[in-house]
Amino acid sequence: MFSALSNPARSAIVHRLTQSPCFVGELVEHLELAQPLVSQHLKVLREAHLVQAVRQGRQSRYQLTDEHVTHLFLDALHHTQEHSETPPAFSR
């Protein structure tokens, strides 16, 4: 899990998904990355069982697999912020 989250873009995706599920286009806009790159990162996160895709018509909406992922990620984030004076790069 932490290996998959070691990439800042993947951490930013998970951070965004702690707020609400998103379509790929929304993640592309939020992260300001190319769609193929976001899709590659989502694939890594799916393979790590951190996110899942839910089909909605012709699109997939991505969400965290369960509340455990949300809690683990946010707890780790808060822990690092307690010991750092600079916020993570993906905080917007």
52-79 pLDDT, tens digit each: 999 999 999 999 999 888 888 888 888 8
- Report the first-to-last Cα separation within the chain, whole angstroms: 23
Assessment of whether the complete model's pTM goes beyond 0.85: no
Confidence band, pLDDT 50/70/90 cuts, at residue 2: confident
**Does residue 92 lie in a domain region?**
no
Torsion over CA of 32, 7, 62 and 48, rounded to 10 degrees? 160
Q: Which domain holds residue 65?
A: 4-82
Nearest to 78 by CA among 17, 15, 27: 15
Pairing of strands 22-23, 51-56: unpaired
11-37 pLDDT, tens digit each: 999 999 999 999 999 999 999 999 999
**Does residue 87 lie in a domain region?**
no
Query: Alpha-carbon distance 25 to 60, whole Å?
Result: 10
Position with higher pLDDT, 82 vs 8:
8
- Work out how many domains the chain is built from and give that number: 1
pLDDT of residue 46: 96
